[in-house]
Amino acid sequence: MHMSKLLPPSLRPVYFNMRGIPFTKGYKKEFDEEYEKKSRDWMRYQSVPRLNYRIDSEIETEKGLAVKTWEREVEIAEILKEQKYSFEEPGVILNPYGLAPLCAYILFYTEEKCKVRFCVKGKSPEMDITDVVNKEDRWHRVPVYGLYADTENVVSLQLLDKENKQIAEKTIMIKTDPLPESLEDLVRIEKKTAPSAMKLILVAGKSTAYPAAFDEKGDIRYYMLYRPRGYGFFELANGRFIMMERQTLLPTKMIPHSTQMYEIDYLGRVYRTYYVPNGIHHDVCEMTPGGNLLVVSNSQCGHVEDCIAEVNRQNGRIEKFLDLRDVLYTAYRDRTNWIHINSLDYNAKTNDVIFSARNLHSIFSINWKTNKLNWILGETNFWCRTPWAHKLLKVPSNMPWHFQQHSVKIIRRDLDGRRDTQHLIVFDNHWHLRRRISAFDNDDKSYVTIYEINEKAGTAKILKRFAGIKSKITSNGVLKYDQKRLFYMGGYLAYPEENDDRGGMIYEYDYDTGREVNRYNMRHFFFRAFEMTPNLNDLASAMDLQGEPCVGYLQPFEEMQEIIGIPKEMVESAPLECQEERVRLQIEDGNLWVKSRDHLVTQVFLVGEKRCYVKDFRKPEREQDLAAEMEYFLSIPLYNVKKGEYTVVVEFKGKTYNTGKTIRLYGNLQ
C-alpha cells in the first residue's frame, strides 16, 4: 500500500495541476448523473430491434450511400452476366459507383480462368500506372485507376496464365471529364531530384474539397467526388478506409461531430454505414485487419473529444466506451476541450491503445482491457505535480519535446531487431497556443519524429527527427522503410501568406541521411496524406451483400407522457430572420434529418392523435460561437416510433413551429 494511504486525510498530500486546481479522483459532481443517464440510454438503444417500417411522407426521401452502393452492385453483377462481354469487345463502365470519376470497370468473360493486368499509359513512361488482378477467374470485372482527367486515356489489358505469362493483349480508350475547379492547380512541384517512393500520394480533409491523389509530375490521377468531414480518410486493411459524413452531425459544447461514418473503397463502394451515438472525430483505426474499429468520441457531459469507443465491425454495436476522465481523473481537466484526442492506434499483441492528446502535449499508452495507464511520453515538468509523474517515460536530458502533436501511429516494421522495443511515428506540430507551456522553445519548425519506446525499461528516445516548414495543426508522417524514405505531410501551414497563400507542404526525405529528395506544394490545407494503395483483388470481387447496409444506433425519439397540440404558426411564416436560417427536412435510411444552423433547433417533436415523441437537443448548450454559422442535419432514427401518422414540429430559436410535414408509419415490413 502506498504510504500516503496510511496517513489521516488531513495529512495526505494534495496534488494540483498546473493551473492550481486540486487533483481529485472522479468527476465533478454536477456531471455524474447526466453522464450515467446518457451512458445507460445509448447502451439501451443498442438492444432495440431495428424495425423496417414502411414510411410514407411528403418529406424528401433519400437512400444513403451504402444502400445505393448495394443496389448498384446488383446491377453491375447482372450486366456482367447478361451481356457476357468478350475480351475482344469488353464493356467499360466509367465511374461505376458515381464517386470515382478517374476509375473504371472493364467487364468481360473468358473461356479459361486467367489473371488480368492493366496499364494506364502515362504522359511519360515512368508515369504509367500498372496493377494486376492476381486471382484467376472467367467472369472479369477489372478495376482500373490512375486515369487522367479530360483525356482520351490509353489503357492496355493483358491476360495472364498461372505462371504470369501473357496470353493475350488489347488496348482500349477511356475518355474522362475535366477536373472540378477546386482541384485545379492542386499540386506544384517545388523540388524533384529522384523518383518518389510513392507512386500516388493522396491528400484529404480540411479545405481540400475532394480527396485526391497525384503522381510525381503533380497530375491528378484519382479523386473522389464526395466531400467527407474535414478529417478526411482513415486507412483500413484490404485497401479500404473510413470516411466521416459531413452532413449529419451531433451538436456539442464546441464543434459538432459526425454521427455516421462509411467503410468505403477506392471505387467508391460503400460497404456499410455506421451510426455512432456520441459522435466521431479526428481518427478511426482497426484493431485487427477486418476487425472492430476504435473511434475517437465525446463524453457530451461538460467535455468534448475525450473518449474512445470500440465499434463492432459487423453490427455497429458499441462494445466498449472509455471516458478518459476514468483514466486521468481531474488532472488538467480545467476546460471543455481539456484533452483533445486527435489520433490513436492499437497494438494487438499487447492489447494496448496508444493515443495523442494534443491539449496535454502528450502521448499515452493504456491497456484496453483493464484501462490501466501504461506510460506517458510528455514533458517532465508538465506532469511533475500530478499523481501521474511516475508514469512518465525516462528520456535523455537534452531531448527536444513535441508540442500539440498529431497523428501518432505505431510503426509495424521492426526497425532494430529487438523484441523489447516498439517505435512510434509522430507529427510534432511544435505549436502551443491551445495550452501554453513554459517548456516551449519557440522553434520555428515542425517535425516528423520517430520514437523508440522500451516499455520494460520505462525509457524513450528519439531515433530520427525530420524538420519542415511550420504546420500548426493536422499533418502526419509516413515511413517507407523498404525504400528508405520518410514523408513529412505538412497539412496546415502556419503562415500561408509567406508561401504564396498555399495551404500545405509535403517533403520526401532520405531516411538514412535526412537529405530532402522531393518537395510538393499543396494549394489547400489538408488533414492527412498517405500513399494510395488499392487492393485490386478486393476491388475486382463482388461485394458481400449479407447483413445490413446500415448498422449501429443513434438516440431515437422518446415517447412523451402527454399529448401536445400542433402549433398554428408554420415555420415558413416565421419572422424573416428565421426564414433565412430555415429548417429543412429529409428522410434517409429510416432516419429523420432536420437541418438548420448549429444549436438553433433545440427540440423535434412527432405529434400524433394518440401519442407524441420528442428528441431533445437543448443540452449541451453551445459554449463558443465556433460553429454558429455551420448548417447541418440532426439525424433522428424512427425505429422505435409506433405506427401511425405524425406531424413534425420543431422548437426553433426558442419558439415552437409546425413544419407542415407529416410522417406515416405503416407497420413492420418483415
Report the alpha-carbon distance of residue 138 to residue 111 in Å, rounded.
6
Please report, rounded to a whole number, the percentage of residues in the chain having pLDDT higher than 70: 90
Q: What is the mean pLDDT of residues 184-201?
A: 97
Q: Count of CB atoms within 10 A of residue 198's CB?
A: 24
* Model confidence pLDDT, tens digit, residues 524-546: 999 999 999 999 999 999 999 98
* 8 A C-beta contact, residue 343 and residue 356: yes
Strands of the sheet containing 406-410, edge to edge, are 406-410, 422-428, 446-454, 459-468
Report the alpha-carbon distance of residue 566 to residue 551 in Å, rounded.
33
Cell numbers at 147, concatenated: 486515369
| pLDDT computed for residue 572 by the predictor | 75
Q: Nearest-CA neighbor of 345 among 257, 411, 259, 419?
A: 411
Predicted confidence (pLDDT) at residue 355 exceeds the cutoff of 90 = yes
Cell numbers at 85, concatenated: 462481354
Cis-peptide, bond into residue 13, ω within 30° of zero: no
Q: Nearest-CA neighbor of 155 among 127, 123, 118, 105?
A: 118
pLDDT bucket at 331, cuts 50 / 70 / 90: confident
Q: Nearest-CA neighbor of 296 among 343, 250, 358?
A: 343
Binning the chain into helix, strand and coil, the percentages to the nearest 5 are 10, 45, 45
Please report, rounded to a whole number, the percentage of residues in the chain having pLDDT higher than 90: 82
Average pLDDT in the chain: 91
Residue length of the chain: 670
3-class SS of residue 625: coil
3-class SS of residue 600: coil
Predicted confidence (pLDDT) at residue 670 exceeds the cutoff of 70 = no
* Model confidence pLDDT, tens digit, residues 281-308: 999 999 999 999 999 999 988 889 999 9
E strand or H helix at 602, and its extent?
Answer: strand 601-607
* Model confidence pLDDT, tens digit, residues 382-407: 999 899 999 999 999 999 999 999 99
Which segments of 470-568 does DSSP mark as H helices, in order?
536-539
DSSP β-ladder status, 406-410 and 240-244? unpaired
Report the alpha-carbon distance of residue 389 to residue 396 in Å, rounded.
16
* 8 A C-beta contact, residue 239 and residue 266: yes
Positive or negative, the CA dihedral 291, 294, 295, 301 is positive
* Model confidence pLDDT, tens digit, residues 476-503: 999 999 999 999 999 999 999 888 999 9
Of residues 653 and 405, more confidence is placed in 405
- What is this structure's pTM? 0.93
Predicted confidence (pLDDT) at residue 9 exceeds the cutoff of 50 = no
- Burial (CB count within 10 angstroms: exposed 0-12, middle 13-18, buried 19+), residue 442: exposed
Report the alpha-carbon distance of residue 523 to residue 520 in Å, rounded.
10
Report the alpha-carbon distance of residue 239 to residue 618 in Å, rounded.
41
Cα 424 from chain centre: 20
Q: What is the dihedral of CA 333, 337, 342, 344, to 10 degrees?
A: 40
